[in-house]
Amino acid sequence: MAIRDILDRDFILFGGKGGVGKTTFAAATAFALLPRKTLVVSTDPAHSLGDCLGHQIGDEIIKIDQAENLYALEISAEKTLERFKMDYRRQMRRLLETAAGIEHLTVSEREKLLSLPVPGADEVMGLKRLMDVMDEGNFDKYIVDTAPTGHALRLLSMPDTFDEWIDVFYNLREKHRFHERAFSKPDRADEFLTALKTSTARLRNLLRAEKSEFVVVAAAERLVIEETKELVHELLGFGIPVRHLIVNKLFPDLDADFARARRDQEQKLLQVIRNTFSHLEITEVGLQPTEPSGIENLRRFAGVLYK
Is there binding between residue 22 and ligand ADP (CB under 6 A)?
Answer: yes
| C-beta of 23 vs 200, nearer to ligand ADP | 23
Q: How far is the CB of 36 from ligand ADP (least distance, A)?
A: 22
Residue type for 6, please? I
Residue 291 region by backbone torsions, left for phi larger than 0, else alpha for psi between -120 and 50, else beta = beta
Is there binding between residue 248 and ligand ADP (CB under 6 A)?
Answer: yes
Q: 122: helix, coil or strand? A: helix
Residue 159 binding target from Mg ion, ligand ADP, none, CB below 5 to 8 Å by type: none
Is there binding between residue 23 and ligand ADP (CB under 6 A)?
Answer: yes
| C-beta of 19 vs 93, nearer to ligand ADP | 19
Q: To 10 degrees, the CA torsion angle through 17, 18, 23, 24? A: -90
Q: How far is the CB of 19 from Mg ion (least distance, A)?
A: 8
Residue 9 phi/psi, 5-degree rounding, is: -80, 160
Residue in 178, 291, 296, 303 binding ligand ADP, rule: CB under 6 A: 291
Q: How far is the CB of 219 from ligand ADP (least distance, A)?
A: 9
Q: How far is the CB of 178 from Mg ion (least distance, A)?
A: 50
Residue 13, beta-bridge partner list: 144, 214
Residues 27-86 that bind ligand ADP (CB under 6 A): 48
Note whether 207 and 214 are within 8 A (CB).
Answer: yes
Q: How far apart are CA 22 and CA 8, in angstroms?
A: 19
Q: How far apart are CA 42 and CA 1, in angstroms?
A: 26
37 burial type by CB count under 10 A (0-12 exposed, 13-18 middle, 19+ buried): middle
Is there binding between residue 293 and ligand ADP (CB under 6 A)?
Answer: yes
Q: How far is the CB of 246 from ligand ADP (least distance, A)?
A: 10
Stretch that binds ligand ADP, among 17-25, 56-64, 163-171, 184-192 (CB under 6 A): 17-25
Residue 40, beta-bridge partner list: 72, 143
Residue 287 binding target from Mg ion, ligand ADP, none, CB below 5 to 8 Å by type: ligand ADP
